[in-house]
């Protein structure tokens, strides 16, 4: 598929951005060094729990590389991972929205769901995007007793970018409070990047939980996906 047709397909699928969630304490180093895989030396606070990281240490089947060598992004960042991180860190979680055209870069791999699942499809062929269940991917929640597992899985569909995402591709930083917006604008050199408080990007007032209670939930969720 040529680049122009691929861009039309991305638009038809309603992909307006490719998103990455992070803790605000990581934002300054991301702006300065680019968006890097989770195991980079600049990270201040890792929001992937140890159980998640352990499950993600595997090789993707397209280029036969460890997934840990990729930067993980989402089509729909309002997913179970965002809820988990908001419960742990509250409004310190921000979402970086990148140009959807990064899907066309070299060494990009995308999935149809959670990369921790044994059923996940990996591809680097743009035509395979149409085979994904976009109705489920764009769901606002997974609270459906008949289809909860499938919706939760699809909402976690990922875009994996090898080694680094350059900051000139960053369009917008979304946050859930004016406090965080002011902190970002006062401490980071953003250039043309806009910072927006957007409630619908986040879960509203999620119950704050401990790290241990989140780990228990993660283990249960991973058992369901395996």
Among 173, 171, 213, 208, CA closest to 87: 208
Tally the domains of the chain: 1
Q: Domain span at residue 138? A: 3-225
pTM of the model: 0.87
Phi, psi of 39 (to 5 degrees): -90, 25
Contact status, residue 19 vs residue 156, Cβ threshold 8 Å: no
What secondary structure letter does DSSP report for 38?
A: T
Residue 216 scores a pLDDT above 70: no
> What are the distances in angstroms from CA 13 to CA 129, 130, 134, 170, 219?
9, 8, 7, 20, 32
Task: Convert the pLDDT of each residue in 111-165 to its tens digit.
Answer: 999 988 888 999 999 999 999 999 999 999 998 878 999 999 999 999 999 999 9
């Amino acid at each position: 598929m040529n680049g122009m047709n691929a861009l039309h397909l991305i638009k038809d699928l309603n992909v307006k951005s490719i998103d990455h969630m992070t803790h605000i304490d990581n934002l300054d180093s991301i702006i300065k060094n680019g968006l890097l895989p989770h195991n980079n030396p600049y990270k201040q606070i890792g929001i992937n729990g140890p159980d998640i990281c352990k499950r993600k240490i595997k090789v993707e089947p397209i280029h036969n590389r460890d997934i840990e060598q990729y930067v993980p992004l989402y089509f729909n960042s309002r997913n179970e991972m965002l809820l988990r991180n908001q419960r742990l860190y509250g409004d310190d979680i921000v979402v970086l929205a990148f140009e959807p055209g990064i899907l066309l870069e070299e060494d990009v791999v995308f999935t149809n769901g959670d990369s921790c699942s044994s059923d996940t499809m990996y591809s680097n062929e743009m035509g395979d995007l149409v085979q994904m269940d976009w109705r489920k991917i764009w769901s606002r929640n997974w609270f459906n007793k008949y289809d909860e597992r499938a919706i939760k899985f699809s909402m976690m569909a990922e875009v994996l970018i090898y080694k680094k995402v350059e900051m000139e591709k960053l369009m917008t930083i979304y946050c859930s409070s004016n406090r965080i917006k002011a902190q970002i604008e006062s401490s980071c050199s953003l250039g043309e990047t806009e910072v927006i408080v957007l409630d619908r990007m986040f879960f509203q007032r999620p119950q704050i939980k401990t790290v241990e209670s989140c780990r228990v939930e993660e283990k249960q969720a991973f058992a369901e996906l395996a």
